Amino acid sequence: MHTLITTFFLGIENYMLPCFTKKLWGFDCPGCGIQRAIIFLLKGEFSAAFEMYPAIYPMLFLFGFLIISKYYTIKQANRITNVLMISTVAFILINYILKFI
């Protein structure tokens, strides 16, 4: 079973979607690198995932919190969600701006 899962995740790199923004206009979109960052996470290469797409960790915290708050009542869930969303968007925008500098 472990070999099947490993083969699936290693072979998934062959099926990544191309960036249409980059193909059409020649520059990266704000989401460029997220697929490769997810591949790095699945392989356990956490620092490489951060280098590829720094917003991957705030995004994971946001999605994880949204899943947990769906099943459990959490005090201040709206405030926590807003903070996580703002920080995720900030990471995405800062990373995108730094690509052009």
Q: How far apart are CA 20 and CA 87, in angstroms?
A: 26
- The alpha carbon of residue 12 and the mean position of all alpha carbons in its chain are separated, in whole angstroms, by 16
For residue 72, give the H/E element and its range: none
pLDDT of residue 71: 94
The token duo for 37 is 């960052």
The pLDDT tens digits of the residues spanning 12-70 come to: 667 777 777 777 887 778 888 888 898 888 888 899 999 999 999 999 999 999 999 99
Q: Are 42 and 9 in contact (CB under 8 A)?
A: yes
Q: Please report the beta strands in the chain, taking only residues with DSSP state E, as ranges in sequence order.
A: none
Nearest to 38 by CA among 30, 48, 29, 24: 48
**In the predicted structure, residue 8 carries a pLDDT above the cut 70:** no
